[in-house]
Every structure is written in C-alpha cells, then in structure tokens.
Amino acid sequence: MTPLQGIFGASLSFIAVTYNTFASLQFRDVSSSIFFPTMALFSRTDCGSDPAWQASITAYNGANCDSQLAQWWGQQQHGSFANTLAKSFGSEPTNFECGIGDESSCSVAGCQPFQAANNPIWPYLVLVSLENLSNQFNNIYNSIGNSQQTYTNLIDSIATTFFPWKDPQFPLGAAAPWLTAILSIIFSFMGPEGAAMGSLAGQLASAAINEVTVQEQPTSGGVLLADTTVLGDNLATWGSQTRDSLDEWANTTFNGGTDQVGNTILNYLQNGAFVDATILPSAAQIESSYTQQLISRTVNSQWKTKKIFVTFTETTDPNDSSGPPETKYYSAEDGGVYYTYYYSEDGILKGHLDKPFGLDALNGALYNISGSDITKASAAAYRVAKFNFTHADEMNQLEAAFSSKETVSPFEQGAGWVGTWTLPVCDMGANNWNTAYGAKPTRFGLMPCCCGQNCSETKDFIKAANMQGFQTVLHACQAQLQKASINYADVDYGIKWKRSYPLRFAAWNIWQKGLSVLACIVSLGLAIPILWFA
C-alpha cells in the first residue's frame, strides 16, 4: 500500500453510489457572496536562515522525519494524532486539531518554541505538513461546494449558449463518471515533483480508480434520459457526498486512525509530501479546475449530438494557418495540426464549416476554456480509443499519468486533459480540407471526405459526427475528391444515395435548373389544351 491509495481512497469509497440515489441540487449564485471559505497554505520562512528548519522536502528527509515520527507514534497510546504531537513538542496549544472545519485550531506558530525547548527539527516539520494537508483538504472541500453553486447558477446560460436546441437530453446518471474523473484530476495536483511526490500522486489516482465503481452508460437504446435540471441534481448529490466523504476521511486520519484502504496519516506525510506549501495549488485554482471540468463535460456531451468534429492534417509546420486559430492545436508528436469545426447547413445540399455553438463565450473570462484545449483533449482521446473513449479509458490514462515522468499533471492540463472533451476526429492524412470559419469555397464548403489510412475510418467518423444519412456528404465528397488522388467509389461513407427530385434539383447548376423549369412549363402548357378538349 502506497501513500496516495488512502488519501482519497477512503473518501471516494463513500461516494461509490448507485445512480438512482441522486437527489436534488442546489448551487451558488455567482453574483452572491454566499461562498464557502477557503484556506491559505503557509510556507514557513520565519525560522532564520538555517536550511534544516525550512519547510522543504530536503529538510524533511534530512531530519529523518518519517522514521522519527513512526518510532514516536509507536510509543503513544494513540489518541488524537495531531493533538498529541502538538502537545508533546514545542509550546503548541493543547487544542491543536486538524481536519475539515478545524482551520483555526490547526496552525503552527513557528519554529522558535521548538528551538527554545531544544526539541528536534522533525516534529516541527511534521506539524507544518499537517497544517498544509489540513488546509489543502479544507480548500478542496469548500471548492467543491463553491463550484456546485457556480454550476447551478450557470446551467440555464450554459444550455442557451452552448446547446440552444430544444430540450437537450443527457443519459441518466451521466454525472457519476464525470465526477469520478474530475476528482481524480483535482487530486493529481501532487504531480511528480521528484520521486516522493510522484509516488504520492500515483497512489491518489489508484485510490480513486480502485475505490469507485462506475457503470458505463449506453448512449442509445433503452436509456433513461434526463434534462439539464435532473443532470444538475445528479451532480449536486455527488458533490455533497464527496464533501461528506472528505470530512469523514479527515476525521479518521487526523485522529490517527486507519482508513478503509489501510493507510494512516504516516502514509500521507511520508517523504515530505505536504511540507512545502509552494508546490500545492491554491483554493482558487482548485475551484476553477472543478468548475471548468464540469462545464466542459456538460457542453461536450451535447456537442457530440451535433455535426461538431475535429480534423487532423499532417504537417511539420507548427505555424500552419489553414484552419481557424481559435481551435488550433499543433502536435509535433502526432505530426500535424488539429482544428475543431461545426458543419452548418445553409439549405438543401448546402453548407459550410463554422465555429461550434458559443465557442467565443467558452473562451471568455466567465468560463476560461480555450478552443485549443477542446481540440487537444479530443485529439488525445481519439489517439487512445478512436471514436469510443470511455470512462475506463480515462481512468487508465490517469493511472498512467501518475506513474510516468511527465512534468505536466492532469490537474495542470485543465480542460486540455485527455477525455475532458471527446469530439470525433477525422485523420485526413496529407489532405488539407481546412478553412477559416464561415468560408464558403464551394456550395458544400469543405467536407472531411477521407478519414484514416486508406479512408478506412470514414464510415465510423461519419457515424460519430452525426452525419449518418446526410446526403450532403455524398454530393460534397463526390465533387471534392475529383481534385484529390482518391477514388470516390472506394470510400465507404455508410450512406445510401437518395435520388428524389428535390435533392437532384438542389444539386444542379443554374443552367440545369433553368432547363428543368422550362421543361415543366412546356409540359404543363401542352397538358392544359389536351385536358381542355378531352
């Protein structure tokens, strides 16, 4: 058992609930002042210039804090861990307690009392770690509440701005896997800041993955659907349960107990994981991340019901400008550039590539979600699982991230983290069918007419991009591929041609339409006298 398996495992084990227990949701009005308090993290710099007394991982390990703490705790009667430690060294108050809601009683005055009493360094650094850990979990606890209130206040605006069609629907229980991933992402703040921090972060992820069981929700066929209100209710219930779970975990841990995954406070403090507050995120960062993830996943789920997708074009030019800069994401690793589009229909067999609903608003100060992050997250999801990125895939990616040497954690990647957005991607290879938003180079605009090697993914992409049965694809690609080294007949779009007169008429040029109209006039002109004299 390693440090992170417990820090959030015990918490999440309480919130592994079935979807039918979701209750009603109450969020915060962003314009109000009803906020949960947040705690500042303290980096102790008032202990002179001696590096041994500074709140750093180097000083923590140099003082052999882990072994000293384990030996001392093994000799105690095991009352309240935090209180017992504070009373045993220095001159800390006898009511020193840490945990959710104990901000005022979990504060270390400084190192001078320890120095004056000729105490060793290790208890001071452990108490600083306790304070930072307590503050961190209070920040997470309060940020979840604040984010819930923000989300509920914005839900109507989110619906009208980003999916303005009538009665948007969500699979019932869709909020559960979202939050499981979001909570894991938030706890990934530990990131690999050296071996100790990487180990601790990895165990946090493992705890989240192992302790929460989330069923995959089918996207069609016998699915109970919910509107935005019910979705909000689901999210509120999970958020509330999360807060309760954090509270219970904190009480157990700071009192010196063993949590449900077998860890104690000793596991969480080892290697100085929380001694240095400067490498921990602020309350504002945590709240912003939680809210950003909720909104991203809500909008993503609805955008995926429309003709909104990502294109990929091979290029070695990071300055490629063939598509809209608002959603550009260049990947040297993938060897090309990605752009996000919405196919806007202008009439029968007529349309163009445009920006998705509310893209400008997403990129604004209120939501702070960039179009490039939308594209980046979708591209990463595609590279992992093509058009079927699941919750299990994301949790596997989280686990892999925590055990890797990557310097950017899922928390730091924000909305750009793989799976936060999962819009379908057409890998167009060397074909460049990108345009600026609103451009109309042809009647049909430009269409992603060949996806994957030898166009082998085209049919699956068409389905994922909600273009099944869309006749414009066939007409557009038949004309578009004449200028490419691709035989239109060799591409399977999974769509059958329709030969109705309105569709044929819409596809004709002006001369064909004129002749057709003339023929009708002539036909009717001859028919009238015949009928008259019949």
E strand or H helix at 314: strand 308-314
Residue 158 and residue 128 share a domain: yes
Whether 435 is covered by a domain: the verdict is yes
More confident residue, 526 or 227: 227
Burial class (CB in 10 A: 0-12, 13-18, 19+), 347: exposed
Whether 470 is covered by a domain: the verdict is yes
Q: How many CA atoms lie within 13 A of 296 on its CB side?
A: 32
d(C-alpha 260, C-alpha 207), whole Å: 10
Instruction: Please report, for residues 50, 66, 133, 276, 526, the alpha-carbon distance to residue 63 in angstroms, rounded to integers and kept in the order given.
Output: 13, 9, 19, 15, 106
pLDDT at 471 over 80: yes
Phi-psi map region of 181: left, alpha, beta (phi>0 left; psi -120 to 50 alpha)? alpha
Question: What are the backbone angles phi and psi of residue 309, rounded to the nearest 5°?
Answer: -155, 175
d(C-alpha 424, C-alpha 379), whole Å: 8
Q: With b meaning 16 or more CB within 10 Å and e meaning fewer, what string describes 187-207? A: bbbbbbbeebbbbbbbbbbbb
Residue 450 and residue 359 share a domain: yes
Task: Tell me if 271 sits within 8 A of 196, measured CB to CB.
Answer: yes
pLDDT at 463 over 80: yes
Tokens of 307: 């003709």
More confident residue, 485 or 200: 485
Residue 311 and residue 282 share a domain: no
Instruction: Please report, for residues 25, 27, 204, 379, the alpha-carbon distance to residue 403 in angstroms, rounded to integers and kept in the order given.
Output: 36, 35, 11, 22
More confident residue, 171 or 130: 130
Whether 406 is covered by a domain: the verdict is no
Last residue of a domain, one of 271, 298, 325: 298
Range of lowest pLDDT (5-14, 150-159, 451-460): 5-14
Whether 62 is covered by a domain: the verdict is yes
pLDDT at 171: 66
Over the chain, what is the mean pLDDT?
79
Sign, CA torsion 450/453/458/464: negative
How do beta strands 336-347 and 350-354 pair?
Answer: antiparallel
Confidence grade of residue 520 (pLDDT, cut at 50, 70, 90): low
Helix/strand/coil for 140? helix
Task: Tell me if 327 sits within 8 A of 374, measured CB to CB.
Answer: yes
Q: How many CA atoms lie within 13 A of 25 on its CB side?
A: 28
Whether 343 is covered by a domain: the verdict is yes
Task: Tell me if 129 sits within 8 A of 272, measured CB to CB.
Answer: yes
Residue 226 and residue 143 share a domain: yes
Residue 347 and residue 257 share a domain: no
Residue 313 and residue 294 share a domain: no
Full domain range(s) for residue 519: 502-533
More confident residue, 108 or 225: 108
Whether 29 is covered by a domain: the verdict is yes
pLDDT at 510: 60
Task: Tell me if 19 sits within 8 A of 173, measured CB to CB.
Answer: yes
Tokens of 259: 């949590």
Average of pLDDT values for 273-291?
Answer: 89
Residue 115 and residue 86 share a domain: yes
Last residue of a domain, one of 298, 326, 351: 298
What SS3 string covers 321-353?
CCCCHHHCEEECCCCEEEEEEEEEEEECCEEEE
Residue 152 and residue 120 share a domain: yes
**For the chain, give me the number of helices (H) and strands (E)?**
20, 7
pLDDT, tens digit, 9 for 90 and up, residues 472-481? 999 999 999 9
pLDDT, tens digit, 9 for 90 and up, residues 349-393? 999 999 999 999 999 999 999 999 999 999 999 999 999 999 889
For the chain, the domain total comes to 3
Range of lowest pLDDT (157-161, 187-191, 368-372, 508-512): 508-512
Residue 522 and residue 452 share a domain: no
Task: Tell me if 142 sits within 8 A of 38, measured CB to CB.
Answer: yes
pLDDT at 252: 85
pLDDT, tens digit, 9 for 90 and up, residues 90-99? 765 568 889 9
What SS3 string covers 428-464?
CCCCCCCCCCCCCCCCCCCCCCCCCHHHCCHHHHHHH
Residue 65 and residue 195 share a domain: yes
